[in-house]
Amino acid sequence: VAVIGAAGRMGRLLSAAVADAEDLVLAARIDRLAAVEEEGGKPAGAPAGGGPVPALASMESLDAGIDVAVEFTHGEAPERISPVIRRLRCAWVSGTTALTEGSSRALRAAAEEVPVLWAPNMSLGIHLLNRFCRTAARLLPAGWEMEIVEAHHGGKIDAPSGTALALARGWVEARGGEIIHGRSGKTGPRSEKEVGIHAVRLPEGAGEHRVFLGGAHESLELTHRALDRGAFVSGTLTALRWLVAQRAGLYTLEDWAADRLRSLEDRAAG
């Protein structure tokens, strides 16, 4: 496994988790040169025995012995990383968010040659919350409505969270409606087409999403709490173990889940 963005918050955790996993080998830790220089050539919190993190250019000199690259970098970076992945012919798990158009294109281009899995939220709990909400959107009769409250640490620079938006968009795609952000003033009665999102910011916290589904006679509340960034790390390792056995193509956690359910059903059917 090569970790790209290895000097970053996610990259450090992933490097340590890969190094600790018995079935994985941490083959390379890569970051862009500037970040490595800032940290004096050795990322803080690197796994014991870890040497300096080489820059992306040095991926050129890596042997073609890498099965999968795990990449959590910045929105514009996948565009530069894609040609290296294609040359190495390894699988690519990307958790990078706020992708530029060029980076989205670069992921799709790589997916024509190697297996690529991109997920803006690698937490398996959030993945399940998404699935529950999409099922609810299809199954619940008219009259049921959705509102979302998300809570994050005060350092987060955007609101609402991309995850809250994705949950609300899934509902709107299935049932129609309009996303609104908070309420204040003389709003008038709630329209049945509204899907409200409310963003809470507190000094600490890894992230919480609360989905409220309400009908005339009952309501349902689903809450996901990321206790720490380990939630994204374990989901990423699950994704990469699955991805290395797939053909070239662009995948999401949805594909992993569908495949997993299929194999569980096959096993149950004998």
Region binding ligand NAD by CB under 6 A among candidate stretches 72-80, 148-156, 171-179, 202-210: 72-80
Q: If binding is defined by CB under 6 A, does position 156 make contact with ligand NAD?
A: no
* Minimal distance, residue 74 CB to ligand NAD, in Å: 4
Q: Cβ(9)–Cβ(232) under 8 Å?
A: no
Q: How many CA atoms lie within 13 A of 106 on its CB side?
A: 20
- Phi first, then psi: give them for residue 195, nearest 5 degrees: -120, 100
Near ligand NAD in 169-228, by CB under 6 A: none
From 151, 103, 87, select the one nearest 5 (Cα to Cα). Answer: 103
Decide the pairing of beta strands 194-202 and 178-181.
parallel
* Minimal distance, residue 268 CB to ligand NAD, in Å: 30
Q: Cβ(107)–Cβ(130) under 8 Å?
A: no
Q: Cβ(122)–Cβ(232) under 8 Å?
A: yes
Residue 8 or 196 with smaller CB distance to ligand NAD: 8
Catalytic residue among 152, 198, 209, 224: 152
Tokens of 13: 């955790």
Residue 5 or 196 with smaller CB distance to ligand NAD: 5
**Active site annotation includes 152:** yes
Which of 56, 91, 151, 179 is the binder for ligand NAD (CB under 6 A)?
56
Q: Buried b / exposed e across 188-202, counting CB within 10 Å, b at 16+?
A: eeeeeeebbbbbeee
**Active site annotation includes 209:** no
Near ligand NAD in 5-24, by CB under 6 A: 5, 7-11
Binding stretches for ligand NAD (CB under 6 A) = 4-5, 7-11, 30-32, 35, 56, 72-74, 77, 80-81, 95-98, 119-122, 232
Q: Which residues are catalytic?
A: 152, 156
